[in-house]
Amino acid sequence: MGSMTTRGSRQRSARKAERLSRMIELYENLLFGLTLFSDCMAAYYQDQPNIFTLNENTFQDIKRRINTAIAHAREVLQKAGADGATKAEPARFEFPSFTDHPLIDRIMEQAQILVGTFERMFPGRSRSDRLSHGELVSLMVEAMEQFELLKTAERISNFTKEIN
């Protein structure tokens, strides 16, 4: 009976660690999306540096908080894998909330669209390779089209629900 309990405990620990790994990946995508969003804003407001600086300060704070959380989550995973005493840690780890920013939902949605658009437009390209100004503009245009398609689909879905 003891070996079945141990095996079940290991499986639960593995699932918790896997869930935390997926959350790390999700937040890494969010961080990359925010970087793309910030780069696009820099390209868009290149002639208005004051506006860009205001936006960039907001993004830097959010990116710093995400980076700190990712580093801590990786540390928790590493300890959980090396030390049986900390197996519960992945289940207790929580990423920070960003609800204190008034536009965070819209920014995160756009960041996700930018990541998906980047992956479609530049398959296999390393995320660490900076985009040129022209590539950023192309990415912005394509992402805006995707965002508008998403919003149109949401409006149609809401309208359909209302008439049914």
Mean pLDDT of successive 10-residue stretches along the chain, which has 164 residues: 60 80 91 90 80 73 88 88 58 73 77 94 96 93 88 80 78
Predicted pLDDT at 105: 76
Q: For residues 137 and 71, what is the distance between their CA atoms, to the nearest angstrom?
A: 31
User: Which pLDDT value is given to residue 91?
Assistant: 65
- In whole angstroms, what is the distance from residue 23 CA to residue 111 CA? 16
Q: What is the mean pLDDT of the chain?
A: 82
pLDDT at residue number 129: 95
Q: Helix axis angle, 2-44 relative to 104-121, nearest 10°?
A: 90
Contacts of 69 (CB under 8 A, 6+ apart): 27, 95, 96
Q: Which amino acid is it at 102? A: P
pLDDT at 86: 52
CA-wise closest residue to 83 among 18, 12, 13:
13
